[in-house]
Amino acid sequence: MSDLSPLEEHFPRLAHEIAAFWGASTCFDQLQGLLVDTRGGRQGFPPDVYSDLSLLLTLVPRPKGPYDIWNDALDADKMA
């Protein structure tokens, strides 16, 4: 049994790229760009790798946009 995650096992180059941009202000957008097909016709990741990427996405702060009501709600919860 491997100690590697499905992401590391099947896409080691991508795992290294994520490690390189982890913590950068663009991290959320870069991870989301991996999960959302904006070019059309992409095969996508196997479910276990998609799950790893989705988990990583939950660990980074969402960028706050001008009309991002969800971040406003999260901010309000933190202040309560």
Return the residue matching tokens 């919860």.
77
> pLDDT tens for residues 2-55?
799 999 999 999 999 999 999 998 999 999 999 987 777 778 899 999 999 999
pLDDT at 74 over 70: no
Q: Report residue 69's pLDDT band, with 50, 70 and 90 as the boundaries.
A: low
Would you call 73 helix, strand, or coil by DSSP?
Answer: helix
User: What residues contact 18, with CB distance under 8 A and at least 6 apart?
Assistant: 7, 30, 31, 56
Per domain, the residue ranges of the chain are 6-79
Q: Report residue 80's pLDDT band, with 50, 70 and 90 as the boundaries.
A: low
